[in-house]
Structure 1
Amino acid sequence: MFVCSLLSSFLLVVSVLAAPATVTNPNKSESPATSVAFKGFDWGDLRNILCELAIAKNFCPRAPADGLNILTPIGTARGTFASGANRFAVRYASANRWAPSTVATTWQFPNGASDPSTMPLACPQPQMDSSSYSEDCLSMVLYVPTFLHKDSKAPVMVWIHGGSFVTGSVLNAGLDGSKLAMATGSIVVVIQYRLGALGFLGPESNLGAKDVVNALHFLKDNIGPFGGDGSKITLAGQSSGANMIRALLAAPSAQPLFRSASLHSDPMGYGFLTPSVRQDLVNSFLEKIQCSASDTSCLNSASLNSIVDATSSVNDNGQSINAAAGIGEPIRVVRDGSFITSPLDSTAPFPHVNKPLLISTVKNEATVTVYSMFGSPTPNSAFLPVCDAILGPNRTDTIISSDVYPQNKLSDGSEDSRIVLEDVGTDQMWRCPSWTFARNWVQNGGRAFVGVYTLGATYPSNEGFSICSQDGQVCHEDDIEIVFGTVSNPTSSQTALINEVQARYRAFLNSGDPNAPGLSPWQASTSTITPLNLGGVGIISTEACDPSFWGAAVPFDYQIFGL
């Protein structure tokens, strides 16, 4: 009794000494956690270590709901209170240039920072000031609900940003996960990985995708003390982030690391690259930086600026380097036969699967692509040559001879072929291949819930396109801030959709099913796709995506090029 009493008294003293020097104030945007240090010794670490001893656990209270000092298996994590949740930024892995990354073995702030409020620098990428990125970029940000404690066993949602595998970071607009974490009762984690040539055109393929695998290993091993459950990880991502998730669904080594996934606007029509197509892109990249594949010294000493510039060149000219690379996302993951072993499409036997998936697109996926090419209305006569240039004469002839895409006209009688080009592009690259994928998935053992966002919030990158702000128009990326609940001044309709989507995510993260009391039924897909109308009323037309049309009469790119 005396020993226990003495230990209890000692722990009480240590707890007092180690209490944060500042109290979290929810009215401030951030409040760094600090602990009392004595002659260089961190009493907070001592308290955490003692409280983990079996004999001491009964004397130590659980960490407070707003606890910002968390003892993990690899050290103490320190965070900040930001936007309503506790936020922790950490380096999850490190890597030498052109080499596979290795999982971090100590808890460190990103980029050598000492302030827990510091956010990570982005991975090197075009169209960004070099002071904003670093090759030391394998970081993630955790958003932890204030009500969790280490025994909560909450699900974990890992978000993978878009950007065509060449741009993007955890600081992308709308990716503050605080509100999403609080609404879903989950830990939301936003990660970044090596982009462009550094992630995908080096001597070894798929380094960027393997970075994501290491991020999942890091979370599985370290998420418990935050109140998360490493066996309840769901991957979610948009555009190339969704493409990355589909690649991990095709990677046997990644399967034990997550149990479900949500794919937003995956441009599935492209398919994965083959090694030969990738090699053509690599050769072009090497030519730009004036290095040979075997000259390790040259590759390692190439300036970061030259690598970023060469990445931009390959990305802009990918289709001319090899037509199979496509226009919008030429630098991407590779089905190498070892890490990624299946195309997960209609070109090869589909493997047995078992994970539940959410698969969604937005109503007007191709609007920005089309309106970037044509800034003003174009006559209907332009449809044939434009479609022919993108899809080739055979597919164009089939489309024109069908009645699926009638030549549209504006209500004032003027012509604008951009309207039908947008319809074709949305179906060809996003909607119809996604529905084909869903059919394959459920026919081979998995569950899939398909939806279409018919309401969104104009994403900052779309603000230069006035059409994206028109009622009824939902452009690529316009679902992101709906999911995260980060819409600025949302309308009542947007607020209702945010609440619905986050409620569905809460259900899905916990059970693998997005249905919950008070929500309209979301039917699981079968061989027949019945998409949920997200943000609107009425049935989503499935005529254009009939499997006898797209994927059969009109092949997808991955079928045309044998990807």
Structure 2
Amino acid sequence: MVAFALIPFILAGVSPLSSLAAPLEGLTTTTSLKGAPIFPPLNFGLLCQLPILKDICAREASTSTQVTTPLGVAKGVSDTAGANRFAVKYASATRWAASTVATKWELPNGASDASVLPLACPQPLADPSAYAEDCLSMILYVPTTLKASSGVPTLVWIHGGSFITGSATDPGLSGSKLAIATNSIVAVIQYRLGALGLMAPNGATNLAVKDTINAINFLGKVVPSFGGQASKITLAGQSSGAGMIRALLATPSASSLFQSAILQSDPVNYGFLNVSTQVTLQSTFNGLIGCAATNKACQTSLSVDAIIDAQVTLGNEANTTDPSTGVAEPIRPVRDGTLITTPLDLTAPFPSVNKPILLSNVKNEAAPTIYGMFQSAITSDLFAPVCDVSLGADRTAIVQASPFYNLNVPDTRVPLDTLGTDYMWRCPTWSLARSWVGHGGAGKAFVGVYVTGATYPANNGIAFCLEAGSVCHQDDIYIVFGTTPNPTAAQAALTKEMQARYKAFLTTGSPNAAGLSVWSPATTTTVHAHQLGGTPSPSGEVSVGACDPSFWGAAVDYDYQVYGI
């Protein structure tokens, strides 16, 4: 469905509407030329990289501190939330070449001031002074109580942004409160985005995935110096960040680098790209930049602006070129058979697994798209045409005839939101959980749904997301990090609960902790989706609805099944 598939673009500030065959009546957008919104959501992390604001942002930290590591002396600062903060360059890479792990401790972007935050990786709609190709950096948040012998876990956060936007300085990603609450080291990492990370002209695949592997390798070397234990690394991320983690779970060579994983709002429906689709996209991209696969001099001479312009064009045209790309994340990891070796879905035999995973969604994943596109209530006659754009006639007919999406309501945006959430996020996530627990003794999966959230800045312009009871895509980030501005009692309570559950999960592989309701692990038939926040249901779980295994994934195929990816 166009409405559901567009959400990562809207959140990233990129519009793929030009890829649609025809506009739908009642559809409204705020896009202008070159796919840029007239009023793009502010990325406060990127704003802090502007020269005029760097000093102001840096004042959030004071009191220098340092730690001796095997790679040299790590210089950091004590921030206002009570933890020590260290920014560091974890790897280096020339354009479209594989990155190499850093062999010495070095501040990002040649900085001499340890309080300065790293520049983001190049991305659309960002001020060029806020990013740099030399962007393989991370920020470590370390409780001041830790000693070298503490042996605490490390949580590695991978940001979202549809693989084309985002950074370690995105809103709400200050990890101090999370580190203190979980008694862990929190590392927020960056990786090459878009074409620079996933569309190398010479055909090299998954450079961004390899960047994250190098980030984990770097952490394994240094966290013992800060009080961490290299064998206790848990990956966590939201949206495409969760998709990156799924790619790492499908990478056998990365398996020994981390012990468990937390995936928040992963758009599992898309799956990984297959090799033939990647080749098609790569050929198109090479034509757009005017450089042959072997012409390294041409590739090196390109400006970053030219690369980003070609990337945006590729994203807008990808779905027409190859429908398996979808319209929201056409540039994404590819199952190349060497690094990523399994689709981790229903299309192929599932591999044996042994890691515990925690999978969560929010109640209204699709709401930013539905309510962002349709500014006022719409009637039921628009349900089928909206569905047909992404689902096609056959799947639309099955969905429309099912009892799961009630069209007898005054506003059809309500069932469209439910359907989009089920189709893109919730139901494919539950299918993944069932497969996961069916193929490994230690491979437990815990599934949850947020019914309480905190409005993320990208959702501030969407009236529905500001209504009481709405929990839109990204509204779980502030809750987990404990960075909600002026939290309500309900938000504060859920933050306390989730941080206690994450602390338990980092330590034991289970989110169950003393004083909290029991969170049952999924089985091959029942996922036991735990309700996170709100007034507890009698069972403490959310209803299955259309995520019954006989419906989505069986009666109605996911995109990865339709396109065989």
TM-score (norm. length: structure 2) = 0.87
What's the counterpart of residue 225 of structure 1? 225
What's the counterpart of residue 435 of structure 1? 430
Task: Summarize the alignment of residues 127-142 of structure 1 with structure 2, pairs less than 5 Å apart.
Answer: 127-142=125-140
Unmatched segments (≥5 aa) in structure 1: 1-27, 34-67, 411-415
Task: Summarize the alignment of residues 65-464 of structure 1 with structure 2, pairs less than 5 Å apart.
Answer: 68-82=65-79, 83-202=81-200, 203=202, 204-410=204-410, 416-445=411-440, 446-464=443-461
Aligned partners of 1:264 and 1:360 also within 8 Å = yes
C-alpha distance after superposition, 1:170-197 (max 9, x if no partner): 0100000000000000000000000000
C-alpha distance after superposition, 1:298-344 (max 9, x if no partner): 11111111001111222233212211000111110000000000000
Distance 2:514 2:63 in 1: 38
For residue 292 of structure 1, report the CA deviation from its aligned partner. Answer: 2.0
Distance 1:184 1:266 in 2: 23
What's the counterpart of residue 62 of structure 2? 31
Q: Aligned pair 1:481/2:464, yes or no?
A: no
Distance 2:376 2:313 in 1: 27
Distance 1:373 1:557 in 2: 22
Aligned partners of 1:32 and 1:117 also within 8 Å = no
C-alpha distance after superposition, 1:325-370 (max 9, x if no partner): 0011111000000000000000000000000000000000011122
What's the counterpart of residue 548 of structure 1? 550
Distance 1:301 1:276 in 2: 28
C-alpha distance after superposition, 1:68-102 (max 9, x if no partner): 21110010001000121100000000001010000
Distance 2:369 2:435 in 1: 28
For residue 422 of structure 1, report the CA deviation from its aligned partner. Answer: 1.1
Q: For the aligned residues, what is the CA RMSD?
A: 1.0
Distance 1:408 1:69 in 2: 63
Distance 2:63 2:166 in 1: 26
1:455 corresponds to which letter in structure 2? T
C-alpha distance after superposition, 1:407-438 (max 9, x if no partner): 0413xxxxx22211111110001000000000
Task: Summarize the alignment of residues 492-531 of structure 1 with structure 2, pairs less than 5 Å apart.
Answer: 492-527=489-524, 528-531=526-529
For residue 293 of structure 1, report the CA deviation from its aligned partner. Answer: 1.9
C-alpha distance after superposition, 1:417-472 (max 9, x if no partner): 22111111100010000000000000001100000000000000000101001111
Farther-moved stretch of structure 1 (280-289 vs 387-396):
280-289
What's the counterpart of residue 60 of structure 1? none
Distance 1:309 1:375 in 2: 29
C-alpha distance after superposition, 1:50-80 (max 9, x if no partner): xxxxxxxxxxxxxxxxxx2111001000100
Distance 1:369 1:331 in 2: 20
C-alpha distance after superposition, 1:154-183 (max 9, x if no partner): 100000000000000001000000000000
What's the counterpart of residue 39 of structure 2? none
The count of corresponding residues between Structure 1 and Structure 2 is 497
Aligned partners of 1:242 and 1:265 also within 8 Å = yes
Aligned residues: percent identity? 57
Q: 1:561 aligns with which of 550, 560, 563?
A: 563
TM-score (norm. length: structure 1) = 0.87
Distance 1:314 1:173 in 2: 28
Aligned partners of 1:93 and 1:214 also within 8 Å = yes
Farther-moved stretch of structure 1 (394-403 vs 553-562):
394-403
Distance 1:30 1:456 in 2: 28
C-alpha distance after superposition, 1:518-563 (max 9, x if no partner): 0000001112111110002113110210111000000000000000
For residue 32 of structure 1, report the CA deviation from its aligned partner. Answer: 4.3
Aligned partners of 1:408 and 1:420 also within 8 Å = no
Q: Secondary structure at the match of 1:317?
A: helix
Distance 2:413 2:431 in 1: 25
Unmatched segments (≥5 aa) in structure 2: 1-58
Aligned partners of 1:29 and 1:81 also within 8 Å = no
2:78 corresponds to which letter in structure 1? F
Aligned partners of 1:32 and 1:115 also within 8 Å = no
Structure 1: which 4+ aligned runs deviate by more than 3 Å?
none
Distance 2:112 2:418 in 1: 50
Bigger Rg, structure 1 or 2: 1
What's the counterpart of residue 16 of structure 1? none
Q: Secondary structure at the match of 1:157?
A: strand
What's the counterpart of residue 18 of structure 1? none
Q: Secondary structure at the match of 1:392?
A: helix
Q: Secondary structure at the match of 2:61?
A: coil
